[in-house]
């Protein structure tokens, strides 16, 4: 009896222990697998303001992001290559804070992690320059001391310095092919870098430049059919009355005007400049609509209709214009073209959220014919033709309390006047089953010669890092099970 009791207690203790280990392991896996949210800082670029000093503006496509792991490097701005007999990988632009001053450098790998090499030292706490969505046009521009001032678009690193680089004097297969430093504005200017643990100043080098687009175009728009939400709201637009105050049977007309809010918002996307002029090319639309990117566009759209009907003297009808006010909300994919001075462009696929409000299906409703004098409905009589199965309704009038036949019922017509803005939206016809987009695709026609872009996807070294993490987790699991 005692033996069974001890076995039960032992089994219970083992179960509790395994449960605790399982919980700890789950928490550990969650911490190791889930990337934390990196801190983001603004990037400032030089803009020629037609003055000797110029000014700096906030970049719409670049950010400084605190380094948190290798997975961030898919959007990092490339500063050169690290090449030795055993290793070959891209190096990226980074910065560290030394004595309260930001200093630029480049990344290097140490045991599958990155460090920022700046001022001749390896730093584990640093920021990486990110080109979000690869929609910024980034390149290294040749600079000499005879260049007039700071190039437009130069990326500021310090109070009076900008990111620069110089070819390493050691040549190929000796590590980083470029030493990253800064363009200093002392005298005619100089490129300052650390080379072989010593500070070197050069009269020539390269400066990192961001070129801002001047406009965008959105094409090949496809809505996600499964997640599209369309809400219809039957709305009263205008009311009026047609009345015949004359002495003869005649056509009465009434002009009815109304207006409605036509709204469109095409969402936002990382790396796309807010407020930049954008043309939207919708399928089957005769002309593109024009918006400012990431800003809601609303317009008051007026329309006019002429309503007419033949009425007998002393009669009238009430008329009402109704319309279907639609709100459309949907995720969409499209191809975004960024245009630069000189008509050069880059393009890539993006995904965002669309919201539109518009009016369609304007129709007319009217009341029965009534007497103006007392508001009573004009009586009607119905006769059936012997040559047809259809029924014809005739209205009658009353005089001295006696109904008088009317030769024909009122025929009410509606005609549009002026510009027409209402109608079905062209995007309703483009609904498709699935429109998934790889958010990490690079611009399709970005020049590799002048674009400083990171490698896309996992490189062999990054893949090795993933395997290393997996191996570590496996080892930890085995250790816990053996305890």
Cβ-contact 242, 254 below 8 angstroms: yes
62 conformational bin, left if phi > 0, alpha if psi -120 to 50, beta if neither: beta
Q: What percent of the chain has pLDDT over 70?
A: 72
Average pLDDT over residues 204-214: 92
Q: Which of 17-26, 33-42, 118-127 has the highest mean pLDDT?
A: 118-127
Q: Which residue has the higher pLDDT, 213 or 451?
A: 213
pLDDT tens digits, one per residue of 256-304: 999 999 999 999 988 888 899 999 999 888 899 999 999 999 999 999 9
Residue ranges of domains in the chain: 40-211, 215-369+410-432
Indicate whether 35 pLDDT > 70: no
Sign of CA dihedral 453, 456, 460, 463: positive
- Of the given ranges (157-161, 227-231, 374-378), which has the lowest mean pLDDT? 157-161
Q: Indicate whether this model's pTM tops 0.75.
A: no
pLDDT tens digits, one per residue of 439-475: 344 455 444 444 433 333 333 344 444 434 444 444 4
Indicate whether 160 pLDDT > 90: no
Average pLDDT over residues 399-407: 46
- Of the given ranges (125-129, 215-219, 282-286), which has the lowest mean pLDDT? 282-286
SS3 call for 406: coil
DSSP E strand boundaries for 185-314: 190-195, 198-202, 204-211, 215-224, 229-243, 250-265, 277-280, 289-292, 297-311
Structure token pair of residue 421: 């803005």
Indicate whether 399 pLDDT > 90: no
Average pLDDT over residues 369-382: 83
In this structure, what is the dihedral angle of CA atoms 316, 321, 322, 325, given to the nearest 10 degrees? -170
Structure token pair of residue 108: 């290097």
Q: Which among 215, 217, 137 is positioned nearest to 445, based on CA atoms?
A: 137
d(CA 179, CA 13): 60
Indicate whether 251 pLDDT > 70: yes
Q: Which CATH number is associated with domain 215-369+410-432?
A: 2.170.15.10
Q: How far is CA 258 from the centre of its chain?
A: 33
pLDDT tens digits, one per residue of 37-64: 568 888 888 875 444 455 788 888 899 9
d(CA 72, CA 200): 31
């Amino acid at each position: 009896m005692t033996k069974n009791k001890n076995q039960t207690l032992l089994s219970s203790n083992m179960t509790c222990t395994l449960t605790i280990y399982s919980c700890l392991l789950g928490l550990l896996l969650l911490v190791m697998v889930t990337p934390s949210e990196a801190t983001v800082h603004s990037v400032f670029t030089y803009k020629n303001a037609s003055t000797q000093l110029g000014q700096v503006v906030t970049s719409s496509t670049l950010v400084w992001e605190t380094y948190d792991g290798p997975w961030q490097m898919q959007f990092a701005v490339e500063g050169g290559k690290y090449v030795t007999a055993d290793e070959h990988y891209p190096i990226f632009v980074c910065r560290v804070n030394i004595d309260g001053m930001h200093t630029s450098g480049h990344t290097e790998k140490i045991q599958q992690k990155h460090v920022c090499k700046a001022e001749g030292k390896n730093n584990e706490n640093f920021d990486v320059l990110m080109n979000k969505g690869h929609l910024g046009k980034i390149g290294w521009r040749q600079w000499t001391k005879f260049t007039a001032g700071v190039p437009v678009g130069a990326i500021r690193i310090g109070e009076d310095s900008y990111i620069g680089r110089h070819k390493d004097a050691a040549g190929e297969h000796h590590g980083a092919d470029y030493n990253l430093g800064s363009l200093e504005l002392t005298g005619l200017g100089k490129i300052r870098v650390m080379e072989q643990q010593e500070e070197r100043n050069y009269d020539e080098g390269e400066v990192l430049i961001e070129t801002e687009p001047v406009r965008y175009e959105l094409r090949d728009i496809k809505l996600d059919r499964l997640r599209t939400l369309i809400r219809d709201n039957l709305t009263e637009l205008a009311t009026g009355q047609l009345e015949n105050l004359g002495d003869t049977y005649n056509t009465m007309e009434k002009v009815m005007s109304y207006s409605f809010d036509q709204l469109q918002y095409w969402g936002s996307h990382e790396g796309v400049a807010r407020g930049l002029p954008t043309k939207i090319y919708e399928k089957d639309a005769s002309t593109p609509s024009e918006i400012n990117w990431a800003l809601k566009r609303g317009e008051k759209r007026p329309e006019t209709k002429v309503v007419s009907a033949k009425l007998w003297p002393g009669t009238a009808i009430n008329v009402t214009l109704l319309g279907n006010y639609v709100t459309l909300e949907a995720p969409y994919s499209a191809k975004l073209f960024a245009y630069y001075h000189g008509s050069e462009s880059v393009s890539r696929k993006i995904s965002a959220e669309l919201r539109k409000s518009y009016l369609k299906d304007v129709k007319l409703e009217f009341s029965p014919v009534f007497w103006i004098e007392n508001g009573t409905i004009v009586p009607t009589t119905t006769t059936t033709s012997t040559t047809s199965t259809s029924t014809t309704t005739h209205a009658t009038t009353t005089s001295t309390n006696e109904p008088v036949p009317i030769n024909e019922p009122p025929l009410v017509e509606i005609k549009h006047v002026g510009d027409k803005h209402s109608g079905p939206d062209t995007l309703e016809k483009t609904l498709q089953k699935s429109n998934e987009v790889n958010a990490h695709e690079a611009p399709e026609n970005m020049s590799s010669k002048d674009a400083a872009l990171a490698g896309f996807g996992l490189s062999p070294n990054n893949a090795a890092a993933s395997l290393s993490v997996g191996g570590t987790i496996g080892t930890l699991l085995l250790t816990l099970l053996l305890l």
